[in-house]
Amino acid sequence: MDDLVNKRIAIIPARGGSKRIPRKNIVDFLGKPMIAWTVQAALDSGCFGRVLVSTDDPDVASVAKSWGAEVPFLRTSHMDDISPVSEATLAALTQAADHWQGDYDVVFQLMANCPLRNAADIRQALEVFEAEKRSFQISCFKYGWMNPWWAVRLDGSGRPNRLFPETASERSQDLPALYCPTGAIWVASVPEFMDQRTFYGGGHRFEAMRWQSAVDIDDYEDLAFAEAVAQGMSVHA
């Protein structure tokens, strides 16, 4: 079992240059830096030989280390807000292999802006990934009270243009469930990830999780929403 654990690595990408919430990855979230919640969830899961934070920012590195993550090097590429985050994770894998002179079988990408995902969520994702022998797995959640089948675009005058006009007269309970990806837990086989350079590789699968754990924080409205959600759930389960 220890050998299996040691062959898994959790990578937490955490740039220092967030624009919508400055210093987002270390902003206070319910009394702790936001990144601390993800570091603790990864460590508490017991799933990984290493929990690595990939950052270009010394302040983020210092905070991450203080909560138990490993940050033996700073990110040297893919530090802008245009590069796909998977490229930063790929770069971190290469740096990790060079630094520790070893390789890994499975990589988890855990975004720091998903602080409500917990250790139990991570263990569940790993269990499914291994049981189904998947190569790529992306977390998602089912839409609830919001019904995307009735989504519209609005023009300048407020005139709606339905995205799914064929469902306009359908009752919500008669429509199939729809799911949305979240950055909470992305998993891949390292050899295939290195080859295809994306978590959306051939045969990728989505794995649903509870919507509370899936909350992504990108702006201050998201931050307030996540704080409200956290009051009604246990993030340490």
What pLDDT score was predicted for residue 237?
45
Largest CA distance in the chain: 61
Coil, strand or helix at 179: strand
Would 88 be classed as within a structural domain?
yes
* Count of helix runs (H) and strand runs (E) in the chain: 7, 10
**pLDDT tens digits for range 45-99:** 999 999 999 999 999 999 999 999 999 999 886 655 667 899 999 999 999 999 9
Would 173 be classed as within a structural domain?
no
pLDDT > 90? residue 132: yes
Instruction: Say whether pTM exceeds 0.85.
Output: yes
Give the lowest-confidence range in 45-59, 97-111, 222-236: 222-236
Would 126 be classed as within a structural domain?
yes
Mean residue pLDDT across the chain? 94
Q: Residue 74: give its domain's CATH number.
A: 3.90.550.10
List the domain range (segments joined by +) for residue 225: 2-143+178-230
Rounded mean pLDDT, 216-237: 86
**What domain count does the chain have?**
1
Would 6 be classed as within a structural domain?
yes
Q: What is the DSSP letter of 203?
A: T
Would 170 be classed as within a structural domain?
no
CA distances from 22 to 42, 54, 188 (A): 24, 18, 30
CA distances from 90 to 95, 102, 110, 148 (A): 9, 15, 13, 33
Would 60 be classed as within a structural domain?
yes
Q: What percent of the chain has pLDDT over 70?
A: 95
Q: CA–CA separation, 50 vs 64, rounded Å?
A: 13
pLDDT > 80? residue 226: yes
CA distances from 54 to 12, 118, 136, 199 (A): 6, 20, 21, 17
